[in-house]
Amino acid sequence: MTTINKEPILRITGLSHRYNSNWAIRDIEIEIVKNGITGLLGSNGAGKSTTMNILCGVLTQTEGDVYINGIDLRKQPEKAKQLIGFLPQTPPLYTDLTVDEYLTHCAMIRSVEKVNLPGALDEAKSRCGLSHISKRLIRNLSGGYKQRVGIAQAIIHRPSLVVLDEPTNGLDPNQIIEVRALIRDIAEEHAVILSTHMLSEVQYLCKDIKMIENGRIVFSDTMEAFDNYIAPNCLLVTMEEAPAADSLMEIPGIARVDFLTEKQARIYFNGDKTVAEKIVLASAGSGWRLSEIMAEKNSLNETFAQLSKVSGKQNKNK
C-alpha cells in the first residue's frame, strides 16, 4: 500500500534572525504544499536573502523552525539539505572547470550515486539547455549560460525544493526571458521559491507571492490577489466639451483632477463607488459630452509602495 506524504514541501514557522542587536527578519511564516513557483518579493534589505540563507542551511536562525518534507532543518541538516537545491545570488561557479566537470563535482558533493551520475548529468544539462556546451570552460560562457549552469547544479540531485535567490539579476533582457522560461519548466516537477526585488519578476513567473518588508511578511496570497489588493482609486475620463477642473471638483467624492489633454482627465476619488455615476449625471446635465469613462487599477509598483507603508505603520505601533 502506498503511503501519501501529507507534509508540506516547505514549512517555515516563527522564523526570526538578528545580527547583533538588529532583527533582520521577524516571525516569518511560509508554507508550500505543491510544485510551482512561489515568489518572495521585497525591496533590497527587506530580509529576503537572510530568509533564503536560513532556508538552505547557510545561516542558523535565532528563532523559529524550517521543515523540508517534514524534516527539521536544524535537527537533521544533512537529511533536509539533500531535498534542497540552492542557487545563491552569486552562482557558486568554478570557472576553470568545464560544464561537465563542474556539474559532475556538484553531483558528487550532493551524494548522487556513481551509477546514477551519468543520467543525472544528462538530465540537468538537457533541462537547462547545456548539452551542446558540455566541454566548454565556464569562464568563457555568457552571463545567461553561467546562470543556466548555476540552475543545473541546483537541480542535478532532483531535489523536492529549488531555491533561487534573485535568479535573473544582472542579465540582459533576452537572457532574462530565457531564464524565466527555464524556471517555469523546472517548476513543473519541483517546488520553486525565488526571491526578487523586481515586481515584474513575480508578475511573469509566480502564482503565489509572499511579500517581505522590514523583515516581516506583509502579504501572502496569489499573484492575482496581490495585483488587485488595492481597489482602483482613479478614473480616466474623456469629454468632448470638458469643463474646468474646479467644476469637476464640485462633484462629491472627487479628491483631485489632473488633465492629461484638453479632453481627457484623470480623476482621483476617495473610495466612493458612486463617483462614476455622479460624473455621468453631471455631464448629461451640463453638456460635457462624456465619451469614455473607465477605472484605472493601481499598478504593481503602487501596490508595492502602499503595502510597504502599511508595514512601516504596523512596526511603529509595536
Q: What is the mean pLDDT of the chain?
A: 90
- CATH code of domain 10-227: 3.40.50.300
- CATH code of domain 234-296: 3.30.70
Angstrom distances, CA of residue 100 to CA of 91, 135, 191, 258, 306: 16, 6, 25, 60, 47
Cell triple for 280 = 455621468
CB count in 10 Å sphere of residue 5: 10
pLDDT at 3 over 90: no
Burial of 238 (0-12, 13-18, 19+ CB in 10 A): middle
- The answer to whether 116 and 133 have CB atoms below 8 angstroms apart is no
In order, the DSSP letters of 129-197 are T-GGGTTSBGGGS-HHHHHHHHHHHHHTT--SEEEEESTTTT--HHHHHHHHHHHHHHTTTSEEEEEES
Burial of 228 (0-12, 13-18, 19+ CB in 10 A): middle
pLDDT at 1 over 50: no
Segment 251-290, tens digit of pLDDT: 999 999 999 999 999 999 877 779 999 999 999 999 999 9
Every domain range in the chain assigned CATH 3.40.50.300: 10-227
The structure's pTM equals 0.76
Q: Which amino acid is at 215?
A: G
- Which residues pair with residue 236 across a beta bridge? 266, 294
pLDDT at 32 over 50: yes
pLDDT at 273: 78
Every domain range in the chain assigned CATH 3.30.70: 234-296
CA distance 241 to 292: 12
- The answer to whether 248 and 254 have CB atoms below 8 angstroms apart is yes
- The answer to whether 91 and 146 have CB atoms below 8 angstroms apart is yes
Rg (CA), the chain: 25
Closest by alpha carbon to 224, among 39, 19, 31, 14? 39
pLDDT at 223 over 50: yes
